[in-house]
Amino acid sequence: MASHRRPRQPNRARVTVLTATATAAVALSAQGANAAPKPSKSEVKAQVDKYYAEAERATNQYDGAKEKQQKLEKEISRLQDKVAREQGELNELRTGLGAMASEQYRSGGIDASVQLFLSADPDDYLDKASTLDSLSEQQVESLKKVQAKQRELAQERAEAAEKLADLAETRTELGKKKTEIQGKLSKAQKLLNTLTTAERRQMAEEEQRASRSATARVELGKEKEVAASGIGAAALNAAATQIGKPYVRGGTGPNSYDCSGLTQWAYAQAGAHISRVTYTQVNEGPHIGMSQLKPGDLVFFNNTEHVGLYAGNGQVLHAPYPGTSVRYESMSTIGSFQFGVRVNG
């Protein structure tokens, strides 16, 4: 006989768990389908190189602002010293006029014109030429000296105030550039962190092989290429003694360098002073093309954001970017070549 019992209803809690599990599975499936694929090692390197180039651009601007700040600080200090001296000289001139007035008083009273001067602005006073007739030649000369000194003092104070305002703007710019640099380097590091330990080790090994190859090519080319000048040869030899020292933003030696810090230091050892940043180092000599390069010439890349020393046989000696050290590298792997500059000292 057929059973007439009602079918058993599924447990409410069990239905809830199954529904939640199914929903989560669908969500994870959708998330996996929509997630961007992990970038390859070559893609990471290309993007990291881009961030380093942007950081180097900001570093050049930072170095330029830093140099400007140091120059302004020296000029302001000089102006402040000059203002203090001139104020002392003005005080002495006024003291002399006071002594003159005292003498007149003891001998029968202060001349009305001198009395007017002591209670009024000398500039306004001397502009009233009619009062000069009642002054002695000595008094006129003293009053003119006071007037000239006051005008000079006012001009120096105005110049100092202008430079102080410029210094404040420069310091603000420095802060912005520092933040920009740190942001670019942070992005580069985050990208590098997406690589496995093995991938990062492989990248480092590839760079080491490339550096050894570049060094070998420099040695092979020494007999074929000679520097255009003794200064260029001396600068290149000096830079070669710094191989292995780390790249540090703002570094000018002797313990660390950024790209233009290395070139400036190297030429200083050769007895030639060149400016601090790439934007001004481009003006240190005539521009030359790739086929004209000689060892020791400055070589500029990436819209003049990066500089190194031509080492011969298509190789460059430079401070590449954070995390690396001074090394030889093929021109073909550094970036877009702009031009060379031959420093004649």
Amino acid at position 165, single letter: A
The answer for residues whose C-beta is within 8 angstroms of residue 80's C-beta and 6 or more apart is: 160
Burial class (CB in 10 A: 0-12, 13-18, 19+), 188: buried
Q: How far apart are CA 173 and CA 69, in angstroms?
A: 10
Tokens standing for residue 286: 């005539």
Buried b (16+ CB within 10 A) or exposed e, 211-235: beebbebbeeeeeebebbbebbbbb
Q: How far apart are CA 238 and CA 232, in angstroms?
A: 10
Q: Which of 4, 273, 287, 318 does the annotation list as catalytic?
A: 318
Q: How far apart are CA 263 and CA 278, in angstroms?
A: 9
Pseudo-torsion of CA 44, 50, 51, 57, nearest 10°? 170
Q: Which of 4, 273, 287, 306 does the annotation list as catalytic?
A: 306
Please say if 273 is a catalytic residue: no
Tokens standing for residue 229: 């000048």
Buried b (16+ CB within 10 A) or exposed e, 319-334: bbbbebbbbbbebeeb
Query: What spatial distance separates the first Cα and last Cα of the chain, rounded to whole Å?
Result: 116
Q: How far apart are CA 293 and CA 287, in angstroms?
A: 10
Phi/psi for 312 (5° steps) reads: 100, 155
Q: Which residues are catalytic?
A: 259, 306, 318
